[in-house]
Amino acid sequence: MKFVGIIANPASGKDIRRLVSHATVVNNNEKASIVRRLLLALHAGGVPRVEIMPDQFGIGDRALRGLGDRPDVVATASLIDMPMEHSVDDTLWAARYLREAGAGCIIVLGGDGTCRAASKTAGEVPLLPVSTGTNNVVPAFVEGTIAGTAAAYVALKPEARRTELCRRHKRLLVEVNGAAVDQALVEVALVSASFVGARAVWETGSLRQVFCSRAQPTSIGLSSIVGVVHPVDAAHPGGAAVTMTANGRQVRAPIAPGVVVPVGIGEIVEMVPGGRYAVDPQRPAVLALDGEREIVLGGGDEAAIVLDLDGPWIVDVARTLATAVANGAFVIGPGQDGN
C-alpha cells in the first residue's frame, strides 16, 4: 500500500548566509506547523499512512501533538524508527528507508542542500520539495496544505502516471580522479580554499568556476551568475559553465537574499548531457555543491563535472493539481472520477 514520507530538516535555513544576508527565516516551530498542514491534507487526500523523519528538535512530534483534536489523522502518522546522527546522514538514511519501504512520494522541507541529500538515496520515488532553506532553486514556496494535496494525488497513482505528474530534474555528477563521488542538482562551484570551513558559500571573491544544470535570473544563489546573462531553463536538456575572471565581463548577480554583487566572468560554455567538463587544476580548492562546500581537492587531484538528465523525479504541483481537477478528483459524490 502506497504511503507518503516527510523529511523536515531542522537545520535548513540556519547557515552563515542568514547572518550576512537578509533571508526570510523559517524556524522549526513553523516547520512543525507546515508538517501539521501536510498531514491534514494527506489524510483528506486518502493517504493511509505517513512516516516522518525524526530529528533533534522534534518537528514531527510537535506536529502530531498539535493535532490532538484530530485523532483520526494522528492514527495514520508515525515517526520512522531510525538512528539519528543529527547530520545530513539522517536525511540520507530516511530517504533510503522510504524508498525501500515503498513510499509513493517524499515531501522534503528544506533548501537545495536538503533536496540534494534526499535525491541521493530516494531513487525513483518522486520528491515534493517545500522551501524552508536559504537557497531555494529546486524547492518551491508552496503552502503546506497544497503540497500535501499534490503529494497525496501522486502517491496514490500508478508509477506509469509519473511522467504526467512529475518531471525529471537534471543533476551534475562530480568525478574526482576518474571516480564519481557526489552530485548536485543546481550548481557546482570551484572555490579557492584549502579546507571546507563554513560550508555555505556567500561571497564571490574566492569563486573560480560555476557549473549549472539550470540558471535563471529568478533564482537566488551562485547559479544566478550564469542566469543573469545566459538563462538555462529547468526543462532544457543542457547546462552551462563559466569561469570567473576579474578582467572579464561584469555582471550583477543575486547570490543571496538581499545580496546583489558584481562578478567578473569569462565565456559561458554550453554543457551537453554526458559531456565531461574539466575543473580548473589550480590547487588547493574546494567544490561547493548546491551552495555548500563539500569536496576538498588537493595537489594532484583531477576533477570533472558531467551533466546527467536522469536526476530525481520532482512533483510538478501545478500540473498535478490541474490533472486532478480535470479528472474530478475533488468532486464528492456523483460525477466523481479521480483517475
Q: Are residues 234 and 284 in the same domain?
A: yes
Q: Are residues 159 and 212 in the same domain?
A: no
**pLDDT of amino acid 19:** 46
Is residue 256 in a domain?
A: yes
Beta strands (DSSP E) in 9-139 are 50-52, 77-79, 103-110, 127-131
Q: What is the DSSP string of 296-320?
A: EE-TT--EEEEEES---EEE-HHHH
How far is it, in rounded angstroms, from Cα 108 to Cα 321? 18
Is residue 63 in a domain?
A: yes
Q: Are residues 41 and 58 in the same domain?
A: yes
**pLDDT of amino acid 197:** 52
Is the Cβ–Cβ distance between 259 and 202 less than 8 Å?
yes
Looking up residue 219, the CATH number of its domain turns out to be 2.60.200
Backbone angles phi, psi at 298, to 5 degrees: -100, 180
**pLDDT of amino acid 210:** 97
Is residue 38 in a domain?
A: yes
Candidate from 19-23, 30-34, 41-45 with smallest mean pLDDT: 19-23
Q: Are residues 181 and 128 in the same domain?
A: no
Cα 45 to the center of its chain, rounded Å: 24
Is residue 332 in a domain?
A: no
Q: Are residues 156 and 53 in the same domain?
A: yes
What's the mean pLDDT when you consider all of the chain? 91
* Percent of the chain whose predicted confidence (pLDDT) is above 90: 78
- pLDDT single digits (tens) 148-193: 999 999 999 998 888 899 999 999 999 999 999 999 999 999 999 8
Is residue 200 in a domain?
A: yes
Is the Cβ–Cβ distance between 240 and 266 less than 8 Å?
no
How far is it, in rounded angstroms, from Cα 162 to Cα 315? 9
Q: Which three cell numbers stand for residue 47?
A: 493517504
When divided into structural domains, the chain yields a total of: 2
Amino acid letter, residue 252: R
Q: Are residues 209 and 243 in the same domain?
A: yes
More confident call, 115 vs 292:
115
Residues composing the chain: 339
Is residue 94 in a domain?
A: yes
Q: Are residues 175 and 44 in the same domain?
A: no
* Residue 37, domain extent: 3-169+312-326
Is residue 61 in a domain?
A: yes
Looking up residue 128, the CATH number of its domain turns out to be 3.40.50.10330
Q: Are residues 80 and 153 in the same domain?
A: yes
User: Is the pLDDT confidence value at 335 over 60?
Assistant: no
* Percent of the chain whose predicted confidence (pLDDT) is above 70: 90
Q: Are residues 176 and 73 in the same domain?
A: no
Is the Cβ–Cβ distance between 185 and 214 less than 8 Å?
no
Q: Are residues 96 and 180 in the same domain?
A: no
Is residue 223 in a domain?
A: yes
Q: Are residues 71 and 191 in the same domain?
A: no
Amino acid letter, residue 191: V
- pLDDT single digits (tens) 76-109: 999 999 999 999 999 999 999 999 999 999 999 9
Residue 17 — pLDDT band, cuts 50, 70, 90? Answer: very low
Cα 133 to the center of its chain, rounded Å: 9
Residue 43 — pLDDT band, cuts 50, 70, 90? Answer: very high
**pLDDT of amino acid 245:** 93
Amino acid letter, residue 155: A
**pLDDT of amino acid 334:** 67
User: Is the pLDDT confidence value at 135 over 80?
Assistant: no
How far is it, in rounded angstroms, from Cα 176 to Cα 287? 10
Q: Are residues 40 and 132 in the same domain?
A: yes
